[in-house]
Amino acid sequence: MSEPFSNILKESQIFANRDVLSPHYIPDSLLFRDKQISSIVKYITPSLKGERGRNLFIYGKTGTGKTSCMRYVIEKIKAIPEVKARISYINCRIYNSRFRVLSKIISDNLPTYAKRGYGIVELYEKLINWIEEDGKIFVVVLDEIDMVKDLDDLIYTLTRANSDIRSGGITIVGISNKISFKDELDPRSLSTLYENELVFPPYNSNELAAILKQRAELGFKKDVIDQAAINLAAAISAKESGDARFALKILSKAGEIAEEESRPKVTTKEIEEASRSAEEDVAYELISTLPEHQKLVIYAIALLTLQGSRYKKLMDGAETYLFSGEVYDKYVDVSNALNKDPKSSRWYRKYLADLEMQGLIATYESGKGIRGHTKLIKLSYSPEKIKSTIEKELFKENEAEGKETSMI
């Protein structure tokens, strides 16, 4: 057998079960989230008993266990035969419009109708009739709810349904990385939400170390990784943001490095190497999950960074910095070219603050040597990779909607 294929089926000397190190793996017990799991159960219990309950919104930074806890609760609930509610989990990063969400609900619960080419009104009526047929409570879990492009329409449709349903009802569970996402909702949509809120805090270093140890014991072969390596991965992740997904990515990447280099163990050396690579991977994953207009703003920054600032002669050689005003102008151009309505400069400033908070850009107030007083902006990662990442998302999105996308 030729060299590239000779080791395909060879047993790993590092990994016992690589899937356990994935953030999508749900362990039998979720450490340090008993309180949050209990709160989720408490808030949705009325719906599970067949009563119309309040909606629930769950917030927290990436990697704080929101999705894992919700999916854990869903699996436990499905095992209880007496539960009177039906639950659908929907990833709004994939199903990112009102039509796609309603289609997914029908596909999950009425598969015989799923492929019949219904419009919004027909899907809505099918949903109402399905709920009314036995007076069920339907719980729809919308993960990354802020990714829905026409969120106002979706919220209004789902909450309005409770007025049209004669027997039964709909309860919404929304999950978001941003506690401020509701600020963008129309007052009409916001007024229909009667909800509980639950915030997930970041993990600290000790908690992350315990989580990583739990996964490492199942994911790695015996004695492949020691506690010092686990502690370092936890400390790096805690310093960044308390992100368990990032910590798991470091651990998995460190194992891959050890395997590729034929090293017998995962040590602090592999963890240090992995953390540098994992940080970039997580950044580009984060960019692909940004809300639409934040994505367009950072896309504009990447384009201008590659093209060069038109004001660089005023900037004493600081070519890598961009003026906030020119970035806003480019964002408007990009939005118009993609048939998107650009947001106001007030929202643009908020998007910059969100992007900086997530470590994707750095901003500085201009000082001496630059005419006027403005904000200077600099990307934290490769503009080429950011441009490529976002263009893939734009092409994918427009292809799904039957539109053409041209390079900007």
Q: Do 193 and 276 fall within a single domain? A: no
Picking from 78, 23, 9, 56, the residue whose alpha carbon sits closest to that of residue 289 is 23
The pLDDT of residue 393 is 77
* 237 domain-assigned: yes
Chain mean position to CA 251: 20
Q: Do 319 and 371 fall within a single domain? A: yes
The pLDDT of residue 345 is 94
Q: Do 303 and 215 fall within a single domain? A: no
> To the nearest whole number, what is the mean pLDDT of the chain?
88
Q: Do 331 and 267 fall within a single domain? A: no
Task: Among 156-160, 205-209, 395-399, name the one with the lowest average pLDDT.
Answer: 395-399
The pLDDT of residue 372 is 56
pLDDT in tens, 36-76: 999 999 999 999 999 988 999 999 988 999 999 999 999 99
Q: Give the DSSP per-residue string, 110-157.
A: -GGGTTS---HHHHHHHHHHHHHTTT-EEEEEEETGGG-TTHHHHHHH
Structure tokens at 180: 């401020």
User: Alpha-carbon distance 104 to 101, whole Å?
Assistant: 5
Domain boundary among 174, 199, 224: 199
- pLDDT at 195 > cutoff 70: yes
Q: Do 339 and 272 fall within a single domain? A: no
Q: Do 161 and 212 fall within a single domain? A: no
Domain boundary among 288, 317, 339: 288
The domain containing residue 334 runs over which residues?
292-400
The pLDDT of residue 115 is 65
CATH of the domain at 132: 3.40.50.300
Q: Do 362 and 241 fall within a single domain? A: no
The number of distinct structural domains making up the chain is: 3
The pLDDT of residue 5 is 59
pLDDT in tens, 305-339: 998 877 654 444 545 789 999 999 999 999 999 99
- pLDDT at 383 > cutoff 60: yes
The pLDDT of residue 396 is 63
**Mean pLDDT (whole number) for 212-241:** 95
Inter-residue contact 147 to 94 (CB < 8 Å): no
pTM score of the predicted model: 0.80
- pLDDT at 1 > cutoff 60: no
- pLDDT at 170 > cutoff 50: yes
Q: Do 348 and 227 fall within a single domain? A: no
Q: Do 183 and 148 fall within a single domain? A: yes
